[in-house]
């Protein structure tokens, strides 16, 4: 269609060109004739004074001639133009004619130039037609950009998952605080559509992970919350968040933040995840400014949670790490991640939410049940690990809080507070796994990992992780074994 249009345009162009060239040609012919006339006139003027008089047949009107004589051959009346006449000698007349001839020549030259330019134009239009008709050597290069993709790619998500308002008061408080902090942070940060989209993606990923964790086995309500929150984020429904809130409450203190973010909508989304990250980060890094590397992991549902020591959470830590790195390292509420995972729709989800991040992997709380039996099921964590975790978390709590204040990250604080509040709930730590962070870096990442309900192995749980978890979860009882393990770390 475009080609056709183009062709028609080209046709019209050629048509116009042809018209102009025709005009040019006509004028050219006219002036050539004039030039020839002047040449003959010049000749005549030269030969005229040769004789004193000429015998001529003088035309009498249109039908008659009469013999006569041409005298005063040297006297010529020249029309100068504009009704002006001048009597001149033949020689002077000749000079005038020469002068006029010059003008005519000039006009002819101009016409020739115009002709040439239009001929070139016509050639080009012909070429254009050829180009448009056939592929030719000219190719129209287009690149279709999907703005959204570009925009969201690599951009941290700003929006939080829509959180359902936390039901618990402390959660509420935290949420508000967190939300405000988050809001401020997020708003201060790159709160742009693109970022929100990125955040949404991250949250979705987290949610997926959470779901997977839930599916496999998850005593981590955190993870559950995260996933649930992620899913909620995806849906951006605040109603669902209510359920999540419950789970969140129990699991993470970040949930309030995340929920708050959810309530906010997009902004909330970003905040949530960030909150979670923050919390984790804070827990992990007490000394340094809490920075949360929030990254949504798009882990396929391959989370495998072993109840027991060797619980391994196989959700894509890497992805989380990536996301975390991508995400701004601003101290933000980790509630987001928490929220993502805290989508609690069933009691089992609760356990999923409570996940200890070990080495960047959410470690499901160890349950007393046999791992085999506990697989794909969520049990309450009454094992030592859970107690240990709980203790860890408690410890982390303090750290977090301290770090929080240092970081002056309102969001984190909120998360922490939420965590604290969560803990006091006396929630049994469903997740017996311990979140172990081997590196500081992964620690940051583990935020995400923690948040997703991926069940990390139950390795030692770092304080930060615990801290992050603590905010996520209600204070869990950590078994003495777990505590021992934690101490070992």
Partner 1 sequence: MAEAIQRKLQSELEKYQQMQKDVNKSMSARQKLEAQLTENNIVKEELDLLDSQNTVYKLIGPVLVKQELDEAKATVTKRLEYINGEIQRHETLLKDLERKSEQHREILASLQQEYQRAQGIPAGKV
Interaction site with partner 1 (CB under 8 A): 77-78, 80-89, 92, 95-96, 99-100, 103
The three-class DSSP label of residue 333 is strand
Q: How far is the CB of 76 from partner 1 (least distance, A)?
A: 10
Which residue from 282, 453, 310, 304 is spatially nearest to 385, judged by alpha carbons?
Answer: 310
CA 84 to chain centroid, in Å, comes to 78
Q: Which is nearer to partner 1, 93 or 203 (CB)?
A: 93
Q: How far is the CB of 114 from partner 1 (least distance, A)?
A: 17
Give the contacts of 474 (CB within 8 A, at least 6 positions apart).
221, 249, 250, 251, 354, 422, 423, 424, 425, 426, 427, 428, 429
Q: Which is nearer to partner 1, 73 or 376 (CB)?
A: 73
CB 393 within 8 Å of CB 355: no
Q: How far is the CB of 7 from partner 1 (least distance, A)?
A: 28
Q: Which is nearer to partner 1, 82 or 137 (CB)?
A: 82
Q: How far is the CB of 92 from partner 1 (least distance, A)?
A: 6
Q: What is the 3-state composition of the chain as percent helix, strand, coil, each rounded to the nearest 5?
A: 60, 10, 30
End-to-end CA distance of the chain: 70
Q: How far is the CB of 63 from partner 1 (least distance, A)?
A: 23
Separation between Cα atoms, residue 310 and residue 134, nearest integer Å: 67
| Rounded alpha-carbon distances, angstroms, from residue 95 to 7, 78, 89, 127 | 54, 11, 10, 48
CA 340 to chain centroid, in Å, comes to 23
Q: Which is nearer to partner 1, 57 or 79 (CB)?
A: 79
Q: Which is nearer to partner 1, 71 or 98 (CB)?
A: 98
Q: How far is the CB of 257 from partner 1 (least distance, A)?
A: 52
Q: Which is nearer to partner 1, 99 or 142 (CB)?
A: 99
Residue 478 has what DSSP assignment?
B
Q: Which is nearer to partner 1, 100 or 327 (CB)?
A: 100
Which residue from 477, 450, 479, 484 is spatially nearest to 465, judged by alpha carbons?
Answer: 450
Q: How far is the CB of 88 from partner 1 (least distance, A)?
A: 5
């Amino acid at each position: 269609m475009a080609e056709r249009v183009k062709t028609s345009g080209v046709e019209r162009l050629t048509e116009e060109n042809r018209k102009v060239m025709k005009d040019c040609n006509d004028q050219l012919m006219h002036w050539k004739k004039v030039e020839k006339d002047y040449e003959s006139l010049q000749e005549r003027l030269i030969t005229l004074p040769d004789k004193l008089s000429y015998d001529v047949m003088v035309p009498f009107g249109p039908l008659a001639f009469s013999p006569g004589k041409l005298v005063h051959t040297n006297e010529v009346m020249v029309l100068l133009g504009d009704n002006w006449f001048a009597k001149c000698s033949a020689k002077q007349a000749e000079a005038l004619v020469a002068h006029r001839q010059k003008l005519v020549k000039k006009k002819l030259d101009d016409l020739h130039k115009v002709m040439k330019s239009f001929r070139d134009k016509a050639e080009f239009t012909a070429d254009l037609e050829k180009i448009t008709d056939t592929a030719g050597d000219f190719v129209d290069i287009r690149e279709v950009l999907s703005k959204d993709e570009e925009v969201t790619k690599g951009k941290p998500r700003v929006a939080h998952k829509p959180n359902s308002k936390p039901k618990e008061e402390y959660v509420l408080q935290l949420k508000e605080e967190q939300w405000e902090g988050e809001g401020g942070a997020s708003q201060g940060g790159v709160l742009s559509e693109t970022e929100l989209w990125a955040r949404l993606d991250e949250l979705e990923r987290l949610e997926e992970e959470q779901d997977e964790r839930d599916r496999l086995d998850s005593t981590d309500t955190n993870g559950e919350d995260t996933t649930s929150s992620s899913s909620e984020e995806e849906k951006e429904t605040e109603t669902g968040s209510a359920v999540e809130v419950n789970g969140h409450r129990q699991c993470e203190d970040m949930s309030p933040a995340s929920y708050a973010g959810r309530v906010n909508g997009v902004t909330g989304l970003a905040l949530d995840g960030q909150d979670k990250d923050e919390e984790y980060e804070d827990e992990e890094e007490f000394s340094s400014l809490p920075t949360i590397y929030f990254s949504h992991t798009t882990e396929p549902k391959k989370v495998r949670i072993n109840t027991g020591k060797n619980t391994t959470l196989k959700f894509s830590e890497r992805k989380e790490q990536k996301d975390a790195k991508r995400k701004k390292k601003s101290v933000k509420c980790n509630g987001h991640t928490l929220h993502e995972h805290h989508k609690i729709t069933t009691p089992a989800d609760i356990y999923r939410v409570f996940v200890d991040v070990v080495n960047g992997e959410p470690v499901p709380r160890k349950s007393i049940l046999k791992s085999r039996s506990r697989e794909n099921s969520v049990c309450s964590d009454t094992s030592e690990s859970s107690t240990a975790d709980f203790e860890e978390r408690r410890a982390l709590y303090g750290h977090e809080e301290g770090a929080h204040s240092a970081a002056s990250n309102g969001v984190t604080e909120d998360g922490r507070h939420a965590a604290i509040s969560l803990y006091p709930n006396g929630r049994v730590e469903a997740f017996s796994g311990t979140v172990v962070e081997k590196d500081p870096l992964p620690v940051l990442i583990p935020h995400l990992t923690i948040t997703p309900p991926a069940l990390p192995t139950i390795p030692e749980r770092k304080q930060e992780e615990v801290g992050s978890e603590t905010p996520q979860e209600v204070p869990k009882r950590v078994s003495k074994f777990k505590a021992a393990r934690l101490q070992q770390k």
